[in-house]
Structure 1
Amino acid sequence: MMESEGIAGIEQFDSPGKGRGLRVSRAYGVGELLFSCPAYSYVLSVNERGFICEQCFTRKKGLAKCGKCKKAFYCNVNCQKKNWPMHKLECHAMCAFGENWCPSETVRLVARIIARLRHQRERSPSEKLLSLRDMESHMEDMDNEKRELNEAHIAGLHHFYSKHLDFPDHQALLTLFSQVHCNGFTVEDEELSNLGLAIFPDIALLNHSCCPNVIVTYRGINAEVRAVQEISQGQEIYTSYIDLLYPTEDRIERLRDVYYFSCDCKECSTKSMDKQKLKVRKLSDEISQKEIRDMLLEMCELSIDKMSTVFDDSNIYILHMMYQAMGICIFNEDYDGGVRYGEKVMKPYTVLYPAYSLNIASMYLKMGRLYMALDKKSTGINAFQKALAIMEVVYGKDHAYVTELKQEIRGE
């Protein structure tokens, strides 16, 4: 394979205590694009079929379906032809298995990676800094449960793809599934809905911080890295691997479970937001962390009204319940109820999440659309404009999501 060509303004280095990392060789301002990376391989979620093009991930009406399997949809013939080398791995199998065709997204993605590796002779545009083969696997850190999951994935791969794919040896498959487990990205839209799963080797070099200075967003099948803080020359680039709403103990547990490390960022060291995230109303006796956790175990059986006698509205566990209630209201077309819960969620979100957060932007979008459905146009426009201010930073001003939202604001 040819040597890596690098990315202007970005350099790989050994980050103290973190292994490989990326830093900037010049300063970047808020909203500035540091670099983009096309997906090395990707799969569209089965739930999105018929709504999004399998090749370019464009959401549009009137997509044309594959004439053979009738399950894959495309913008046009050009997209269909480009996607055929990957779709053919599934097309025949879907026809053969019918309703019994049910590999996981991870299995589907690994099948496509294997197919691409078989024919790859030089580094792809997704590997300017790191080749896919050199991604971290953490094989030695896996517990028995994860090892068993990998074995189940391998069995699924053989079951659904053996007729159309030559597999590497068992150990190579274990390594590849482990790499995907640690480095796979869930591709999301502007409302953070899951569109599919992808691998971006260069972006896998970004280290984690609960105080990130960049955010990763998606433009079709390309991932983009944009600054959400001012970044000085020589400074390391950090993204967040996890949802930042949760308190330090929960975040660290999640990072250890999936990525095998503990975070030592400023927020994890100071736990400055934990008090608010776990805030309780004043009680006659001091309530312990164990009592809070015992109460949370019963969350599914408690109503929000009952919980609110104990938890403050900014407590992240009741926020989670209210967010779920908002979703149920929207599903049931109870838009007044959706607004009621959404407004309770919105204020704490703007305090607990970083300023340029996709979680905040998606909430403003949802609220704007609810207000519009209730003929509260000026309130809806105001919510859209707040979403737009964040989206222009995290997606860039020329992104399709930004353009579409501007059209929505203008009533087009």
Structure 2
Amino acid sequence: MTVETMDPVEVFAAGEKGRGLRVTKELSAGDVVFAEASFAAVVFDSLSLQVCHSCFRRQPNPHRCAQCKFAHYCDRTCQRAAWDEHKQECSAIRKIGKAPNENVRLAARIMWRIKKDTGLVSDAQLTTLDLLEDHLSKMTPEDLKELKVDVQHFYSYWPKKSKVVGEDYVSHIFGVINCNGFTLCDQRGLQAVGVGLFPNLCLVNHDCWPNCTVILNHGIQTALDASFHSKRRIELRALGKISEGEELTVSYVDFLNVSKDRQRLLKQQYYFDCKCEHCTNGIKDDLMTAGREGQKPSAEVLKEVTDFSLQALVKIEEARTKGDFHEVIKICRECLQKQDPVFGDTNLHLLRVLSPASEVLSFLQQFDEASGYARRMVEGYAKLYHPNNAQLGMAIMRAGVTHWHAGQIEEGHGLICRAYAILLITHGAHHPITKDLEAMRTQTEMELRLFKQNEYVYHSMREAVLSNKPMSVAGEQVQIKATS
């Protein structure tokens, strides 16, 4: 990242929100406002054996560090690229015999980076960690107690020969992590796998209906230069037109919560009262709590079905955790039977059941039923989310793949094209997810043409696809792989 790439943004005083970032020229949908490498980042404890500690890709059989036996990598290229960051961590883990929790590991990586680069790694870094808010004075007694435990564990982990760091400063770093840590996803964007700190991103304030989104770019794994192979970079991308002088915003929480719940989550995690337009005016709250159109269930019935839904969601999660997927489907069906006569198609309780129902049915290869639930879920999401929301795009993509598996090629292709248009904006053309989606779009387009020309040929082709066998199309042998 160079100074030139940062030209479109500047720091400004954003009133009650403190500092913020605004643009110095007009931007369009899909423009990269800025890219930023992580100051420090770590893999979550629970996924330390499955995710590369350098590039954060999920790997079926990662290569383990022979010294600390904790860090895992895609291969030796990733391991070599990570050594400068990992070597002090490696020694510290070996000395205490085990790795501490992710917060302590991240704090230590931050301290080692500060020691090496004095907290400012490039001219394009718009702030230092010392100037970031830690909100320690606003923390609850319980949160402060947890923070102090982390501080104690940090001192047990921090090498005795390293420079002594004062407790106040260590506490500040933990506060910064708590308020500004950015969750990192795997290469498919489907699962959170780690947490990192990006100083410039920390300056971007929240809005429930933001004008930007953030994605993790995993770099180019095949590049000869290892810095491109493993560089953890976020990209701040414009969701639509942003006028010169307009503040840049991202959403810190999922929009799919009614305004009072979003405000509660933001206050609890980030210690501020959200006064954005959507929260102030309760925009879309009516849709998120909507009853069935044309029906006017009593308050008693609404409460009964709502309570039933909340209990069902707990049971669904418990069954999923145990891997009892048939139980998940049983609970989902029972819940949907209760909900359908009462809730509208944008009701959050309904959508939160449709999501696991479609996902688990797809896993069980019951694609016809799964596609129906996925279609309903996407229709509800589309009425609630920003039209260029990344989560909406991912949900539409999964629905498209589910319809393809169900043999519903016209619907599947249409959904995949819709998802592709969104992800071009939120992820860009070179992101692995977008590239996969482009391949799906090309495949389903070809299948749709065949389907319209000759259904018999199409069904023959589907059999070849599902058995992963080559088949002849227009006199040429082609190999088509099933998407997943």
SS at match of 1:217: strand
SS at match of 1:154: helix
Q: How many equivalent pairs are there? A: 407
Q: Check if 1:329 corresponds to 2:328.
A: no
Q: TM-score, normalised by structure 2?
A: 0.75
**What's 1:391 paired with?**
423
Indicate which of 341, 344, 365 corresponds to 2:376: 344
**What's 1:88 paired with?**
87
**What's 1:205 paired with?**
203
**What's 2:261 paired with?**
250
Q: Check if 1:260 corresponds to 2:259.
A: no
- Bigger radius of gyration among the two: 2
**What's 2:21 paired with?**
22
1:74-223 equivalences under 5 Å are 74-92=73-91, 101=98, 103-121=100-118, 123-125=120-122, 128-162=125-159, 168-189=165-186, 190-220=188-218, 221-223=232-234
Against the structure 1 CA distance between its residues 212 and 102, is the aligned structure 2 distance closer, same or farther, given a 3 Å change threshold? same
Q: Shift in Å at residue 309 of structure 1? A: 3.8
SS at match of 2:196: strand
SS at match of 2:36: strand
Overall identity of the aligned pairs, in %: 28
Against the structure 1 CA distance between its residues 147 and 50, is the aligned structure 2 distance closer, same or farther, given a 3 Å change threshold? closer
The CA distance in 2 between the partners of 1:403 and 1:368, in whole Å, is 15
The CA distance in 2 between the partners of 1:380 and 1:39, in whole Å, is 37
Deviations 1:313-345 (A, max 9, x none): 311122112213333334444444432322221
**Equivalent position amino acid for 2:246 in 1:** Q
Q: TM-score, normalised by structure 1?
A: 0.87
The CA distance in 1 between the partners of 2:242 and 2:143, in whole Å, is 37
Against the structure 1 CA distance between its residues 113 and 385, is the aligned structure 2 distance closer, same or farther, given a 3 Å change threshold? same
**Equivalent position amino acid for 1:211 in 2:** W
Structure 2: gaps spanning 5 or more residues: 219-231, 316-330, 444-479
**What's 2:390 paired with?**
358
**Equivalent position amino acid for 1:368 in 2:** G
The CA distance in 1 between the partners of 2:5 and 2:436, in whole Å, is 33
Preserved contact between residue 41 and residue 113 of structure 1 (Cα < 8 Å): yes
Structure 1: gaps spanning 5 or more residues: none
Against the structure 1 CA distance between its residues 409 and 51, is the aligned structure 2 distance closer, same or farther, given a 3 Å change threshold? farther
Against the structure 1 CA distance between its residues 114 and 142, is the aligned structure 2 distance closer, same or farther, given a 3 Å change threshold? same
Q: Shift in Å at residue 23 of structure 1? A: 0.7
Preserved contact between residue 263 and residue 274 of structure 2 (Cα < 8 Å): yes
**What's 1:33 paired with?**
32
> Which of 365-374 and 313-322 deviates more?
365-374
SS at match of 1:17: helix
**What's 2:435 paired with?**
403
The CA distance in 1 between the partners of 2:340 and 2:378, in whole Å, is 17
The CA distance in 2 between the partners of 1:335 and 1:49, in whole Å, is 33
The CA distance in 2 between the partners of 1:374 and 1:169, in whole Å, is 60
